[in-house]
Amino acid sequence: MGRAALSVPSNIAEGNDRSSNKDALNFLRIARGSLAELETQLWIAHDVGWLDAETYRRLCEKRGEVERMLGGLIRVRQQRLKVDQA
């Protein structure tokens, strides 16, 4: 879970440093995949009893917040890409 969680901001940072919106979008999508991986790992950890219900709920809530912010970043980069291609 730690590796998946660390991968999200790392890919956002790497994408932000790329010279094109197309490259940045690729890294944001990788970050979104890592976030989905984390969601699965949280679910499994809860299901097997490694996380209590309250911790699971709180972490899922935080993951959802990150997912919404990441979605916003992706939309902005997609809009910029359209402008670049015009």
Give the distance, in angstroms, between the CA of residue 20 and the centroid of all CA atoms in the same chain.
19
pLDDT at 19: 83
Q: Which tens digit of pLDDT belongs to each residue from 25-81? A: 999 999 999 999 999 999 999 999 999 999 999 999 999 999 999 999 999 999 988
The separation between CA 23 and the C-alpha centre of its own chain, rounded to angstroms, equals 16
Q: Give domain limits for the chain.
A: 2-85
- Cβ contacts of residue 2 below 8 Å, gap of 6+? none
For 2-85, give the CATH class. mainly alpha
Q: Record the pTM.
A: 0.90
Tokens of 14: 């790497």
Closest by Cα among 34, 32, 27 to 13: 27
In one-letter notation, the amino acid at residue 82 is: K
